[in-house]
Structure 1
Amino acid sequence: MTWRLKKSEFDKQKGAGNKKAMKKMVSGGKEPGIMAYYNGTPVGWCAVAPRTEFIRLEGSRVLAPIDDQPVWSITCFFITKEFRRKGLSTELLKAVIAYCKKKKVKILEAYPAEPYADNIPAAFAWTGIPSAFLKAGFTETARRSKTRPIMRHYL
C-alpha cells in the first residue's frame, strides 16, 4: 500500500490498517497485482496497476513521468524467504507481462533498486532489481538517480 497512499496516511494506518485497506480494495474488485503459488501456497506477489493509482509516484522527483504516455507501473514485490534468489521475480514479471497484454496495456514501467553490492538485503530489493527486469525484456529508459533506473517494457 505504500505507493498507493500518501506517506502520512500509510504511516498512520501502518500494519493492520494497511492490510485492511488492501483487503477492501480486493473485495471491491480491484486487482492489485499478480500472485505466485507453489503447490497451492502463495510464495510471491508483484504489484501492478495504472501509474495513476500509485499516488506516491506523483510526488517523486526521481520517478516523475518521463513522457505523457499512459503506463502501468510495477512498484513492488514480495517473495517468501525460501523462494528468494531462485528467479521467481523474473517469472512473476513474465506473468505480469501476460496479464497486461490481456488488459491491452501498451507500456509497463518499473523502478527497481540498483544493488550496491552482490548480496542486496531484502529490505532494499522490494521494488525489484534491474537484472530481473532485463531478463524479462525490460530496458532502461531513464535514470535520474544512480540507484533508481526507470525501466520499460513495450507490449
Structure 2
Amino acid sequence: MSIDVRPATVFADVRTLVGPKSPDSTVCWCLSYRIPTKLANELRGRDRAEYVEGLCRADPPPGVLAYDGETPVGWAAVAPRAATQFARNRKIPHVDDLPVWSLWCIRVRPGHRRRGVSHALIAGAVAFARSHGAPAIEAYPLDNGDARVDTTMAYPGLRRNFERAGFTYAADTSSVLSGHPRVLMRLDLR
C-alpha cells in the first residue's frame, strides 16, 4: 500500500472518514476539541456537516487525509493550538508560550489498519504544520504501554507511535481516556 497524505480540502473525503452514516445524526465530526462547547452543542445534524465543509475551504484546512490511490483511508486533525479547545484545556498543560500546533485525532478506516496509515498521517500532519510556519507540534496520545486500547478510543494516537515519529515526552496531563493516561508529546520544527 502506497499512502499519500494531503491537506483535507475535499469535504466528501473528510465526510467519509469522520462523518456519520445518517446525515441528520449529531456526532463529533472531529469538532469537539476544535470549537467552543457552546457552538458544538448548537450545531446539530446537517449544520455540523456544513460547518466542516466550511473548514475544508478555509486556509488552513482542518487537517490532513491519507489516501491509498484515490481512496481516502485516514484522517488527522491538526491546527494551531490557539484555535482549539486545547488553548483553554485545564487537563492538557502549556509547556511554554510558543505558538505550537496540536495534533489530536487520528482515524484510520477499518480494513486499512495495521498498514502504516497512522504513521503516514503523523508524518503528514507534521509536514502540514511545518509548511504553515509552526515552530513545534504537540500531540496528546494515550500512554497505554502494552495494554490493548479499544479502536474507538484510540483516536488521540498511542505514545509509541509518536515516539517513532520523533516526538518526545514533554509533560504529564491530568487527562485520562478509556482508562489510559494521556501525555503531552512534542516535536520541535525549527
The one-letter code sitting in structure 1 at the alignment partner of 2:154 is A
Unaligned runs of 5+ in 2: 1-30
Which residue number in structure 2 is paired with residue 80 of structure 1?
109
Which residue number in structure 2 is paired with residue 52 of structure 1?
82
C-alpha separation in 2, matches of 1:60 and 1:100: 21
Identity over aligned residues, as a percent? 31
Which residue number in structure 2 is paired with residue 149 of structure 1?
183
C-alpha separation in 2, matches of 1:86 and 1:120: 17
Which residue number in structure 1 is paired with residue 125 of structure 2?
96
Does the Cα contact within 8 Å between 1:113 and 1:124 map onto a contact in 2? no
Which residue number in structure 1 is paired with residue 73 of structure 2?
43
Gap change, CA 1:14 and 1:88, over 3 Å in 2: farther
CA RMSD across the alignment: 1.9
Q: Deviations over 1:68-119 (max 9, x none)?
A: 1110110111210112233211111111222233223210111112237632
Q: Deviations over 1:27-67 (max 9, x none)?
A: 2443111110012010001111111110x213322213121
Gap change, CA 1:102 and 1:26, over 3 Å in 2: same
1:133 aligned counterpart, secondary structure: helix
TM-score (norm 2): 0.73
Structure 1 runs of 4+ with >6 Å offset: none
Q: Is 1:114 paired with 2:114?
A: no
CA drift at 1:17: 2.4
Q: Deviations over 1:2-41 (max 9, x none)?
A: 1111223213324432221110122244311111001201
Does the Cα contact within 8 Å between 1:58 and 1:64 map onto a contact in 2? no
Say how many residue pairs are matched: 154
TM-score (norm 1): 0.88
C-alpha separation in 1, matches of 2:132 and 2:88: 27
Q: Is 1:125 paired with 2:147?
A: no
Gap change, CA 1:116 and 1:153, over 3 Å in 2: closer
Does the Cα contact within 8 Å between 1:74 and 1:109 map onto a contact in 2? yes
Which residue number in structure 1 is paired with residue 16 of structure 2?
none
1:35 aligned counterpart, secondary structure: strand
Which residue number in structure 2 is paired with residue 26 of structure 1?
56
Unaligned runs of 5+ in 1: none
C-alpha separation in 2, matches of 1:92 and 1:20: 24
C-alpha separation in 2, matches of 1:61 and 1:68: 16
C-alpha separation in 1, matches of 2:64 and 2:53: 15
Gap change, CA 1:12 and 1:113, over 3 Å in 2: farther
1:141 aligned counterpart, secondary structure: strand
